[in-house]
């Protein structure tokens, strides 16, 4: 390792594995580190202050809404600021060395382990949690996920780094995304612009949207809902570039955190410039030190919520957020509800506390008719109407179960009722996802191969969500999003008063639930209409590629381009590398690609766009694969999703099947419950399919709610002398 002082001061190279014993030299090193840290701190502070001033001058809608939906909770902002300072300090030191040496060096060439740790401390990065912290009995999982694994307390916890199953591939091996240097070639070709990939491969305006003959729209929306329970990679808090103060909304230059999507000036999304705004994901603070210092100092991304399937969508992932979601004055352990609006007597989620919010309003509505954004365990609750409906459904289920437990166990304190209900609701999220959802997505054969029967908790299995899962594989569902949100009446026909909506009309519009019929028409639409079937000739609706609303950006955006750019931002290896990871053969030729995707014409198009099969982005390649029998994904995504789900199941000490979490009788009762029953118990929908994810014909495939098995909470009755007090 080249020691920092000699590189910066004398231009010499000296290999040292540990901190020098020379006190003068060490003081010089620390002086250079502190100077670079202060320079970085000033840059970050200036950028954040300019961002705050810019937003205060902007209209409240739509420009500020994205700060609610796509940035982490306020209590996490200090952590993300520390991570930005840490990463920027490393780059400032490297840039100084490069200028003095007149050649390109890596951070790992300049710094020792101790020096990197010192920079992390100065930046405010938290220290690792020692296993000794996880002492005593813990009947209930922590909100943050810390200490789920007692030997590795941060595994799966909120605000920890996304797991890397393969090393990151950055253009400078440290932080620069793929495509950062426009003239860089890969395998003899430049990477195609992501917007070009979208336009040439993702859709054709002449191809109709196909309907899935097996599964309902609920399958798609549950996928989005449960994705928000296990992963959330926030984007940078700054709207301004750190080094030169450029506004990411107005520049087409790459300047961290700005990584704009380049497009042609004739593109209908371009407006007056040749790019669309894109903000890089927030970096993670220093992870656990690895033997290879380069891997330690590489930019990593963060998961700001818990990786576990734990209903964090309902309860949040921090004590501060939890307090805003609970009715702390209730003796029944209830969640807070909306005080202004009701749904035919049923309750809505509470509104944000600092109104007026930036959610859209009904055109022409008066000020006293406002419907502010909802607040839930996940900040993305308002993104789309169906997502708001599912969040509301589970808030109601918590309160329903809590009230019943209170009647069964009047001696229980409010906190016990709350925690026991949270435990039940979390288990139902796990059951519905793993029993009813995942086998339909990856196919029963892949489920058996990658997961198989539950064999108990595995203490050496890291349950943290992987980067490739969150950024690519679990975004498969974007190709099955319908361009229309159906709203149906009691006979599961088009609603007479509340017509179906184009998808873009449902973005950030909770007023449509409150003012247009409540949850019931939306839930019937999810249950009673088929999902859009993935179609290689039309992989994504134009509602998402031409009219996506991202509310801190004035223009419409393209979800396909955003997904591709996000994968490059994270330095994800390409499609072929992940095929090898999953033990499939590498695609070498157009013929190989045709075999993988089952479409010769499309294979030719992909090769024409990318030039070389090794250049294919993993999200695009996995999405294009021919689905497995009985599945809605191809073999690559089935492998990656299956591997992740196994880790989430076996790596969770509080998994519902793990002995000691529930009694045998309680487990039996939990298994009888279903999403259909949750809908029956918490809405005005009176007829449902036995399996909410299977599409059927009304009325023959629907059942009255009285015929749907229900959870018998008698299994949770306790005598006063055995209760938790």
Active site residues: 228
Cα 308 to chain centroid distance, Å, stands at 12
Nearest to 155 by CA among 134, 125, 169, 174: 134
| 202 contact partners, CB below 8 Å, separation of at least 6 | 539, 540, 545, 560
| 651 contact partners, CB below 8 Å, separation of at least 6 | 149, 155, 156, 457, 458, 461, 462, 463
Report whether 128 contacts 284 (CB < 8 A): no
The widest CA-to-CA distance across the chain, in whole angstroms, is: 84
What are the phi and psi torsion angles at 99 (to 5°)? -65, -40
Cα 145 to chain centroid distance, Å, stands at 16
User: Whole-angstrom Cα distance, residue 526 to residue 220?
Assistant: 9
Strand 501-502 and strand 484-485: the pairing is: antiparallel
Asked, as a colleague might, if the bond just before 591 is cis with ω within 30 of 0, I would say no
Following DSSP, what letter does each residue of 653-679 receive, concatenated? TT-TTSTTSS-HHHHHHHHH--HHHHH
- Residue 609's alpha-carbon distances to 211, 268, 523, 616, in angstroms, are 28, 20, 40, 9
Instruction: Classify residue 258 by burial, with Cβ atoms within 10 Å: 0-12, 13-18, 19+.
Output: buried
488: which strand partners? 494
Strand 342-343 and strand 210-216: the pairing is: unpaired
User: Whole-angstrom Cα distance, residue 642 to residue 650?
Assistant: 12
- Residue 214's alpha-carbon distances to 93, 386, 532, 691, in angstroms, are 57, 20, 11, 11
Report whether 670 contacts 475 (CB < 8 A): no
Sign of CA dihedral 547, 552, 555, 560: negative
- Residue 204's alpha-carbon distances to 40, 138, 199, in angstroms, are 46, 54, 8
Instruction: Classify residue 481 by burial, with Cβ atoms within 10 Å: 0-12, 13-18, 19+.
Output: buried
Report whether 26 contacts 45 (CB < 8 A): no
Please give the helix or strand (H or E) that residue 113 lies within, else none. Answer: helix 113-123
- Residue 222's alpha-carbon distances to 215, 435, 640, 672, in angstroms, are 12, 13, 19, 19
Instruction: Classify residue 628 by burial, with Cβ atoms within 10 Å: 0-12, 13-18, 19+.
Output: middle
């Amino acid at each position: 390792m080249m020691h920092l002082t000699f590189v910066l001061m004398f231009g010499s190279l000296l290999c040292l594995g540990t901190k020098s014993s020379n006190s003068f030299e060490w003081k010089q090193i620390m002086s250079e580190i502190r100077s670079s840290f202060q320079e970085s701190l000033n840059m970050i502070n200036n950028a954040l202050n300019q961002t705050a001033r810019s937003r205060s001058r902007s209209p409240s809608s739509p420009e500020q809404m994205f700060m609610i939906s796509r940035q982490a909770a306020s209590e996490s902002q200090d952590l993300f600021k520390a991570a930005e300072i840490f990463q920027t300090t490393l780059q400032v030191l490297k840039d100084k060395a490069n200028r003095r040496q007149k050649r390109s060096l890596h951070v790992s060439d300049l710094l020792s382990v101790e020096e990197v740790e010192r920079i992390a401390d100065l930046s405010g990065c938290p220290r690792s949690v020692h296993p000794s912290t996880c002492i005593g009995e813990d009947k209930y999982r922590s909100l943050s996920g810390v200490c789920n694994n007692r030997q590795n307390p941060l595994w799966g916890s909120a605000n920890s780094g996304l797991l890397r199953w393969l090393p990151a591939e950055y253009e400078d091996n440290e932080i620069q995304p793929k495509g950062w240097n426009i003239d860089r070639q890969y395998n003899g070709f430049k990477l195609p612009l992501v917007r070009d990939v979208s336009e040439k491969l993702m859709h054709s305006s002449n191809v109709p949207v196909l309907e899935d003959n097996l599964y309902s729209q609920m399958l798609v929306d549950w996928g989005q809902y449960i994705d928000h329970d296990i992963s959330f990679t926030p984007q940078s808090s700054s709207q301004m570039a750190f080094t030169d103060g450029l506004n990411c909304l107005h520049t087409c230059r790459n300047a961290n955190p700005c990584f704009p999507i380049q497009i042609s000036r004739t593109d209908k999304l371009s407006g007056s410039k040749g790019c669309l705004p894109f903000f890089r994901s927030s970096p993670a603070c220093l992870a656990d030190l690895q033997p290879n210092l380069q891997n330690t100092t590489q930019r990593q991304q963060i998961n700001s919520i818990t990786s576990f399937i734990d209903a964090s969508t309902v309860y949040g992932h921090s004590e501060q957020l939890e307090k805003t979601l609970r009715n702390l004055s209730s003796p029944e352990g209830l969640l807070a509800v909306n005080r202004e609006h009701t749904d035919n007597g049923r309750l809505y989620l509470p509104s944000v506390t600092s109104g007026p919010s930036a959610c859209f309003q009904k055109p022409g509505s008066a000020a006293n008719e406002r419907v502010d954004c909802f607040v839930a365990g996940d900040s993305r609750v308002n993104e789309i109407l169906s997502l708001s409906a599912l969040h509301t459904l589970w808030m109601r289920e918590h309160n329903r179960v809590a009230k019943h437990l209170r009647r069964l166990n009047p001696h229980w304190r409010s906190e016990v009722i709350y925690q026991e209900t949270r435990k039940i609701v979390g288990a139902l999220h796990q059951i519905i996802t793993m029993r009813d959802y995942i086998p339909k997505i990856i196919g029963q054969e892949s489920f058996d191969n990658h997961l198989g029967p539950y064999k108990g908790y595995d203490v050496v299995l890291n349950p943290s969500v992987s980067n490739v899962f969150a950024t690519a594989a679990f975004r498969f569902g974007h190709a099955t999003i319908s361009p229309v949100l159906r709203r149906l009446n009691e006979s599961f026909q088009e609603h007479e008063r509340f017509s179906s909506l184009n998808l873009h009309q449902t973005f950030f519009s909770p007023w449509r639930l409150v003012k247009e019929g409540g949850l019931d028409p939306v839930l019937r639409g999810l249950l009673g209409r088929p999902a859009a079937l993935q179609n290689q000739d039309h992989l994504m609706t134009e509602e998402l590629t031409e009219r996506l609303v991202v509310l801190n950006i004035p223009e419409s955006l393209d979800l396909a381009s955003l997904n591709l750019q996000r994968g490059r931002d994270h330095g994800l290896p390409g499609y072929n590398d992940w095929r090898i990871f999953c033990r499939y053969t590498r695609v070498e030729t157009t013929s190989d690609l045709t075999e993988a995707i089952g479409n010769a014409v499309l294979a030719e198009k992909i090769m024409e766009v990318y030039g070389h099969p090794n250049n294919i982005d993993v999200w695009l390649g996995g999405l294009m694969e021919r689905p497995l029998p009985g599945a809605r994904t191809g073999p690559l995504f089935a492998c990656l999703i299956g591997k992740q789900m196994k880790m989430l199941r076996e790596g969770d000490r509080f998994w519902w099947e793990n002995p000691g979490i529930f009694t045998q009788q309680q487990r039996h009762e939990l298994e009888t419950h279903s999403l259909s029953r949750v809908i029956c118990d918490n809405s005005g929908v009176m007829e449902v399919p036995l399996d909410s994810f299977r599409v059927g014909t009304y009325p023959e495939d629907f059942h009255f709610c009285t015929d749907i098995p229900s959870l018998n909470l008698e299994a949770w009755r306790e005598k006063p002398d055995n209760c938790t007090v």
